Amino acid sequence: MENHDTARWESAVLDGGPAQGLRTRVADRPHVLQVTRPCPPDGPGEEVRVSALYVYRRDPRTDDAPLRYTFDVASP
């Protein structure tokens, strides 16, 4: 388990896709971020939770904050 007290937090911005321009903080420069958007069920099955999944990959060319994560249209 990671110790969040020693994690290195940095600002990041998401580029493209449904989270275009969203700013967030990330710990220890992850290579991939996952963004979900709820999709409310219609009719029977309302006790089930459905989410659309979007993947953003860190742009290795950005070394300074804010880090940039670009939308991966091919994932998942």
Reply yes or no on whether the pLDDT at 66 is more than 70.
yes
12 or 46: whose pLDDT is higher?
Answer: 12
Using one digit for the tens of pLDDT, what is the confidence trace for 23-57?
999 999 999 999 999 988 887 766 788 899 999 99
Residue 59 Cα distances to 5, 11, 13, 24, 50, angstroms: 26, 14, 11, 15, 29
What is the rounded CA–CA span in Å between residue 45 and residue 49? 9
> pTM of the prediction?
0.81
Q: Give 68's contacts (C-beta < 8 A, 6+ positions apart).
A: 12, 13, 15, 58, 59, 61, 62
Portion of the chain with pLDDT greater than 90, in percent = 64
Q: Which residue, 54, 55, 2, 59, is CA-closest to 28?
A: 2
